[in-house]
């Protein structure tokens, strides 16, 4: 018995990260730096005017100069994004629980959830903006529509794919409906939910930006999409790129944070979180 | 037939199956007309080729599936406390070994300190005292199966049902777990119903081997083994073991031909 060891072999660590993790960070980073360098070189060498294609240095300068106003816009967009994601999580998980509780509910409502998902948000955003008085609320609804489907569908699959033997075991042990839901089916669905959440995180940002574009809201409470529109009208292409860079970076940051969350929650038990080991 | 069996009062068996049949919704007749009595405290193996309805029969005994004909009666009317061990360890991967073992107690609302104490005790009984905090992913196949058995026994059930629990393990681990199971059975004296497709395993473990035939699943032979010989590694190589295996193997061949 003692021959069957339980300790996992420890890999060498560098600055707290596994050594095999470093190439995964460094390789894309190096690639990005090379691409930026080539871009800057090309812009200078061919003397491309900044109103057609600014170089990374010019964009960086613009970003620094307009930092305060861009950061304000970023905060507005991120607020909508995160609220929409939160709303998507709450409604998505609730709907998934309803779906898995009753085949009838699923059969009745799933087609409409799919319909909402496949209809491009750009095409319904104008309607929503007309119907919903409050612009912020309209943006929230648009972002929510895009974000909630992956959570519903993934969580439903997760809830329905609980190990049948474990379900039998709970039944044998006389578990109540609630015990089975909260102690077995929901935890078993967690990896599926988290996979959906990672997709939804990016989608809710896209939804928020698209809705902002359609709404074209002005004033001091306007988001990054408005900055892009505004810069476009004024032919201030470097500022357009600066706003674009902020959007991309936010998207990447959201993805990284959700991946980290997923890793932390599943670290001890799920295959997907055990990437480097064994 | 050992003397020990003859001494027991000839009262009603702990469990009586009468004409038990199971026809699945798709028309498959998995079990047909099984009559079987099982005495308390015994170790019975259900032996048969795969697909002969062993799992179906065990699930009906556990009350997980109702028979479509016939009846299952427990002595005294009520179903006694049961432990069930599946072919796969069937552990919750998000819970430590300790919490997995404590599950039946948790579902029964046993206070945390008490259930942890009992789960720890059970884990050390299966030789896993040090693995209490480990997660299933961090354990070997044999260790996971030990956790699964500990979970089934933590409520000290009167009856333990096992559905080919060691079929997926390597031979060395399987032999070890065979011995562990016998040791636990000697300690707790539950009634064991052990499903297997291995002649050697059934003979090594049980006092009685019930041989099943397939399509439709029915009983073919009911063989009582001499339980007096001590079951240990020496027994595995003894002539007595070889002889018993030969006779059970013959019955199984008969069942396959039937
Ligand atoms: N849920 C089910 N629905 C339909 N047929 C089933 C089901 N479960 C088992 N069977 C069929 O019943 C027969 C007996 O199965 P099973 O009890 O699992 O046999 P064993 O455990 O001996 O391998 C097989 O032919 C199998 O295909
Ligand atoms: Mg089976």
**Tokens in use for B145?**
């199966």
Confidence of residue B197 (pLDDT cuts 50, 70, 90): very high
Say yes or no to pLDDT of B4 above 50: no
Is the pLDDT assigned to residue A4 strictly greater than 50? Answer: no
B54 lines ligand 1 (CB under 6 A): yes
Are A173 and B107 within 8 A, CB to CB? Answer: yes
What is the whole-number distance in angstroms between the Cα of residue B30 and the centre of ligand 1? 6
Q: Which of B111, B137, B1, B177 is nearest to A269 (CA)?
A: B137
| B127: contact with A, CB 8 A cutoff | yes
From chain A, the residues in CB contact with B139 under 8 A are 6
Alpha carbon separation from A247 to A69, A72, A225, B90, B194 (Å, rounded): 14, 13, 9, 45, 62
Q: Please give the distance, rounded to the nearest whole angstrom, from the Cα atom of residue B55 to the centre of ligand 2.
A: 4
What pTM did the predictor assign?
0.84
User: Inter-chain contact B139–A6, Cβ cutoff 8 Å?
Assistant: yes
Report the complex ipTM.
Answer: 0.90
- Per-residue DSSP letter, A185: I
**Nearest-angstrom CA–CA distance, A187 and A175:** 15
Residue nearest (by alpha carbon) to ligand 1 atom 3: B24
Highest mean pLDDT among A6-10, A70-74, A137-141, B111-115: B111-115
Domain residue limits, chain B: 34-54+75-80+160-258, 91-157
Which of A102-116, B69-83, B154-168 has the weakest average pLDDT? A102-116
CA distance A153 to A158: 9
Res A52: pLDDT: 87
Question: pLDDT class for A3, splitting at 50, 70, 90?
Answer: very low
Ligand closest in space to the Cα of B51:
1
pLDDT(B7) > 50: no
pLDDT value of position B29: 92
List of chain A residues whose C-beta atoms are within 8 Å of the C-beta of residue B86: 165, 169
- pLDDT computed for residue B22 by the predictor: 94
Strands B159-163 and B15-23, by their bridges, are unpaired
Concatenated DSSP letters of A132-146: -SSHHHHHHHHHHHH
Q: Which atom of ligand 1 is nearest to the CA of B54?
A: 22
Please name the fold of domain A75-226: MetI-like fold (1.10.3720)
Between CA A166 and CA A152 the distance in angstroms is: 23
For tokens 């509910």, what's the residue? Answer: A105
> Band of the pLDDT at A267, cuts 50, 70, 90?
confident
A-side interface with B, Cβ within 8 Å? 1, 4, 6, 8, 163, 165-166, 168-175, 179, 183-184, 187-188, 190, 268-270, 274
What atom of ligand 1 comes closest to residue B59's alpha carbon? 17
CATH of B34-54+75-80+160-258, one of 3.40.50.11390, 3.40.50.300, 1.10.645.10, 3.65.10.10: 3.40.50.300
On the question of pLDDT at A2 being above 50, the answer is no
């Amino acid at each position: 018995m003692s021959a069957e060891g339980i300790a996992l072999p420890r890999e060498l660590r560098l600055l707290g990260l596994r050594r095999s993790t470093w190439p995964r960070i460094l390789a894309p980073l190096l690639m990005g730096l090379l691409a930026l360098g080539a871009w800057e070189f090309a812009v200078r060498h061919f003397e491309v005017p900044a109103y057609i294609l600014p170089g990374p240095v010019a964009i960086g300068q613009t970003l620094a100069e307009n930092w305060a106003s861009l950061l304000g816009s970023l905060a507005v967009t991120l607020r909508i994004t995160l609220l929409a994601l939160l709303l998507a999580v709450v409604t998505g998980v609730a709907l998934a629980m309803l779906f898995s509780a009753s085949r009838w509910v699923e059969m009745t409502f799933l087609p409409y959830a799919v319909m909402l998902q496949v209809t491009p948000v750009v095409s319904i955003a104008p309607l929503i903006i007309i119907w919903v008085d409050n612009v912020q609320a309209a943006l929230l609804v648009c972002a929510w529509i895009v974000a909630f489907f992956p959570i519903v569908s993934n969580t439903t699959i997760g809830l329905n794919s609980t190990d049948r033997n474990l379900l039998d075991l709970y039944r044998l042990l006389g578990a109540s409906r609630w015990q089975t839901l909260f102690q077995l089916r929901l935890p078993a669905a967690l990896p599926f939910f988290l996979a959906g959440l990672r997709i939804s995180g990016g989608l809710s940002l896209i939804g928020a930006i698209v809705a902002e574009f359609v709404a074209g809201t002005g004033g001091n409470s306007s988001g990054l999409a408005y900055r892009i529109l505004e810069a476009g009208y004024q032919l201030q292409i470097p500022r357009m790129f600066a706003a674009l860079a902020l959007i991309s970076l936010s998207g990447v940051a959201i993805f990284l944070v959700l991946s980290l969350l997923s890793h932390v929650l599943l670290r001890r038990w799920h295959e997907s979180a055990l990437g480097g080991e064994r | 037939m050992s003397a020990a069996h003859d001494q027991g009062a000839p009262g009603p068996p702990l469990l009586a199956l009468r004409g038990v049949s199971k026809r699945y919704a798709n028309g498959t007749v998995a079990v047909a007309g099984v009559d079987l009595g099982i005495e308390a405290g015994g170790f019975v193996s259900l032996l048969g080729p795969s697909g002969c309805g062993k799992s179906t029969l065990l699930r009906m005994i556990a009350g997980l599936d109702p028979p479509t004909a016939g009846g299952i009666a427990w002595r005294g009317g009520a179903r006694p406390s049961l432990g069930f061990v599946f072919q796969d360890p069937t552990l919750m991967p998000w819970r430590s070994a300790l919490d997995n073992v404590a599950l039946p107690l948790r579902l029964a609302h046993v206070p945390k300190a008490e259930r942890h104490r009992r789960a720890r005790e059970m884990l050390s009984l299966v030789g896993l005292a040090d693995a209490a905090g480990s997660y299933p992913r961090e354990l070997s196949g044999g260790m996971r199966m030990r956790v699964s058995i500990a979970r089934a026994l933590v409520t000290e059930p009167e009856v333990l049902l096992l559905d080919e629990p060691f079929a997926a393990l390597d031979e060395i681990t399987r032999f070890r777990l065979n011995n562990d199971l016998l040791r636990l059975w000697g300690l707790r004296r539950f009634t064991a119903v052990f499903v297997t497709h291995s002649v050697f395993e059934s003979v090594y473990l049980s006092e009685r081997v019930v041989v099943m035939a397939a399509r439709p699943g029915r009983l073919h032979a009911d063989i009582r083994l001499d339980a007096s010989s001590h079951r240990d590694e020496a027994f595995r190589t003894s002539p007595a073991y070889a002889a018993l295996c030969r006779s059970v193997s013959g019955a199984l061949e008969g069942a396959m031909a039937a």
